[in-house]
Amino acid sequence: MRSNGTAKELEARRRLAVERVTGGWTQREVAAFLGVHPVTVAKWVARHRAGGDGGLAAKPTPGRPPFLTPAQETTVLGWLADPPTAHGFRTDLWTARRVAELVRAELGVAFHPRYLREWLTRRDYTPQKPARRAKQQDPAEAERWLNEEWPRVEKKSPPTRPTSC
């Protein structure tokens, strides 16, 4: 388990331990002073003997490297400016699954669609869904109906009668 602190703080702690041991403190005393196990201090001293000051240097932050390089990320986000039909899909709706398929086909990187949805959200791309519209609908006829027929069909409120005093 990694100790608390930044990489530089932990490096300073290791250097202090080696400095104290070479200054005459026992490894057990240094371990008690720093709140670590004596075996840990022994390992730090051994690393210093084997590699000098470089043996105590801070290590890079652990973690999995990113799936895509910055250039590949730019490419993927550029695809989203195009309609999906330009990339061989039947409809003009980008889905996480479609983006994952395209990334796998073009870049050889496999993303799970759920992860890709989160990845896109972190880059300010949110799920979008087009308005549902009947394919056979004629926009001109719909406009005419709204202007001419709807007012006639619309339920009218009954006229109000004057009240007598």
Contact 92, 83 (CB under 8 A): yes
Domain ranges of the chain: 7-56, 70-122
Render pLDDT for 52-89 as a digit per residue (tens, 0 to 9): 888 888 877 677 888 888 999 999 999 999 999 999 99
Neighbours of 92 (CB within 10 A): 11
Q: Tokens 């007012």 label which residue?
A: 151
SS3 category, 73: helix
Is 84 or 152 the better-scoring residue by pLDDT? 84
How much of the chain is helix, strand and coil, in % rounded to 5? 55, 0, 45
Is 75 or 153 the better-scoring residue by pLDDT? 75
Question: Residue 29: what pLDDT?
Answer: 94
Question: Residue 40: what pLDDT?
Answer: 93
pTM for the whole structure: 0.47
**Alpha-carbon distance 83 to 81, whole Å?**
7
Q: Is the pLDDT of residue 159 over 70?
A: no
The CA radius of gyration of the chain, in Å to the nearest whole number, is 34
Q: Is the pLDDT of residue 1 over 60?
A: no
Render pLDDT for 100-120 as a digit per residue (tens, 0 to 9): 999 999 999 998 888 888 989
